[in-house]
Amino acid sequence: MKTFRIHIIFSIASILFLTSCNKSYTPEQKEYIASIEKSRQEKDDWMKNDSLSPFTRDTTAHFSPLKYFPVNPEYVFYSKLYNYSQQDTVTIFGTKGEERRVVRYGYVLWNREGIDIAITVYKGTSKKGVEYFSIWFTDKTTGKETYGVGRYLDFSYVPDPEHLYTIDFNLAYSPYCAYSPMYSCAIPSKEDYIDVTIEAGEKTFHAGAH
């Protein structure tokens, strides 16, 4: 009788777990989720095998598949890019202590639970002289489920003030310094902290067995 009761309890728990995991998504959302999962597998393949990967450039870094939160369409939002009235050049620091000069170019607005959250978009120039735009941030998962320095989102600038950008936290990733001390990465400032729990994108990397 005891064994039977344990089996019933386990079965009920399993049903509740499966019910919570199988959310009702539209066909378009299911297609989107599949595309993100495919891109994650492709990134794993690149990280493991490409000559430019931090795991091949640093022979002391040992590859294991990257870890992610489940893909969640609720962490995708759309916003125009709002330029700051004064686009200040600011100093940020890399994880090795070096100074970097970037421009606080503008911000996007994320309406989360009825509150507008401004997220800064930075403009910088790479060592090769290539201009880039980027978002880097910390949130309530930082240092717990996600990398302690913070995470990044790539941003493709479009010179149209009416352009509507797609900001997808499912694409949030850890910089290379999360995998290897060979690299230095930009440290998000206090102003880049987003005071919510963003359970989307890449989790903290845990190296596999040597």
Q: What is the pLDDT of residues 162-192, one digit of tens each?
A: 999 999 999 999 999 999 999 999 999 999 9
- Is 48 within a domain? yes
- Is 139 within a domain? yes
> Does 142 score more than 60 pLDDT?
yes
- Is 197 within a domain? no
CA-nearest of 128, 78, 81, 83 to 104 is 83
- Is 1 within a domain? no
What domain range is 53 assigned to? Answer: 22-192
- Is 208 within a domain? no
Q: How many domains does the chain have?
A: 1
> Does 111 score more than 80 pLDDT?
yes
> Does 4 score more than 60 pLDDT?
no
Task: Name the strand (E) or helix (H) holding 137.
Answer: strand 131-137
Burial of 30 (0-12, 13-18, 19+ CB in 10 A): exposed
- Is 205 within a domain? no
**DSSP category for residue 5:** H
- Is 73 within a domain? yes
Give the global pTM.
0.85
Confidence of residue 22 (pLDDT cuts 50, 70, 90): low
Amino acid at 133: F
Please report where in the chains the tokens 């490409």 appear, as a residue.
Answer: 50
Confidence of residue 127 (pLDDT cuts 50, 70, 90): confident
- Is 98 within a domain? yes
CA-nearest of 88, 123, 89, 122 to 192 is 122
C-alpha distances in angstroms, 207 versus 5, 60, 156, 171, 177?
40, 11, 31, 21, 13
DSSP readout, 46-58?
HHHH-TTSHHHHS
Q: How many helices (H) and strands (E) does the chain have?
A: 3, 8
Q: Which residue has the higher pLDDT, 16 or 55?
A: 55
Q: Are strands 99-112 and 82-83 parallel, antiparallel or unpaired?
A: antiparallel
Average pLDDT, the chain: 89
**Average pLDDT of 98-104?**
96
> Does 95 score more than 50 pLDDT?
yes
